[in-house]
């Protein structure tokens, strides 16, 4: 069975600039024999995390929306890309709520859906805020033991419309290199697994609040 990457579009526009960038990543993954799906988080209100901790028992979020749809799908995917437009110099409010709840639910519920699966962030802006947004979203992967895949520049495209993004030739190349690098990483993981190299045993979590 082919390996699969799930690309999440965190823009309120189903087929806008972020989608255009993600599609370029997907096309280069497909060229390397990796299957892809693009999930749009939609343009309806997505609640932030209400810290109810119900996910500890449920391994899902208490709000049954796009977050649970994603969590139900995630186990079947080998890698993840999250795309966001830059809103006020940071990630969109919706993708922030979405990723807060996705990763908190998995972490607290002990889901292990993401353990050592590669991930990347793609940002889309008219002009500025791309690197701050990229830094912001990479933090989820740093905590979730998800190797961050790099490209030949920080993963951004520029433009206010898909047509403008298509003129950002360097940005599109960065997307293609990202897809190729993720495909290469996935192939390495597959080869390692065939050779009997296993994912490290997980230690029970040590959880301190600095005071003791
Ligand atoms: C609420 C809001 C805030 C924005 N803030 C920024 C910004 O800080 N920097 C920027 O370059 N573009 C900003 N933009 C423009 C979008 O980032 C840009 O048009 C993006 O490419 C749209 O991607 P999309 O079509 O996938 O939604 C903003 C747009 C909106 C709606």
pLDDT digits (tens, 9 = 90+) for 120-136: 999 999 999 999 999 99
What pLDDT shows up at residue 37?
98
Q: Position of tokens 């519920």?
A: 109
- Whether the CB of 126 sits within 6 Å of ligand 1: yes
- Ligand 1 atom nearest residue 128's Cα: 11
Separation CA 28–CA 7 (nearest Å): 13
- By most ligand atoms within 8 Å of CB, the mutation choice from 16, 17, 85, 136 for ligand 1 is 85
Of 67, 86, 70, 74, nearest to 155 by C-alpha is 86
Query: What is the end-to-end Cα distance of the chain in Å, rounded?
Result: 48
The predicted-structure confidence for 141-162, as pLDDT tens digits, reads as follows 999 999 999 999 999 999 999 9
Distance 68 CA to ligand 1 centre (A): 26
Q: Are 105 and 67 in contact (CB under 8 A)?
A: yes
**DSSP run (H or E) holding 61:** none
**DSSP run (H or E) holding 204:** none
Which residue has the CA at smallest separation from atom 20 of ligand 1? 125
Residue 210 has pLDDT above 90, yes or no: no
Distance 29 CA to ligand 1 centre (A): 26
What pLDDT shows up at residue 41?
98
């Amino acid at each position: 069975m082919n390996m699969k990457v799930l690309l999440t579009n965190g823009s309120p526009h189903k087929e806008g600039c972020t989608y255009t960038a993600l599609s370029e990543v997907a096309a280069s993954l497909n060229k390397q024999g990796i299957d892809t799906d693009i999930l749009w988080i939609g343009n309806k209100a997505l609640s932030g995390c209400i810290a109810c901790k119900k996910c500890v028992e449920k391994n899902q979020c208490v709000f049954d929306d796009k977050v649970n749809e994603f969590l139900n799908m995630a186990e079947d995917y080998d890698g993840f890309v999250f795309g966001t437009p830059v809103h006020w110099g940071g990630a969109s409010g919706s993708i922030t709520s979405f990723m807060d709840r996705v990763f908190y639910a998995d972490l607290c519920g002990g889901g292990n859906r993401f353990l050592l699966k590669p991930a990347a962030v793609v940002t889309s802006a008219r002009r500025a805020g791309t690197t701050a947004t990229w830094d912001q979203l990479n933090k989820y992967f740093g905590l979730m033991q998800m190797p961050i895949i790099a490209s030949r520049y920080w993963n951004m495209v520029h433009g206010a419309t898909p047509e403008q993004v298509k003129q950002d030739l360097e940005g599109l190349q960065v997307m293609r290199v990202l897809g190729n690098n993720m495909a290469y990483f996935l192939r390495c993981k597959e080869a390692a697994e065939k050779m009997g190299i296993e994912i490290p045993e997980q230690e029970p979590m040590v959880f301190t609040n600095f005071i003791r």
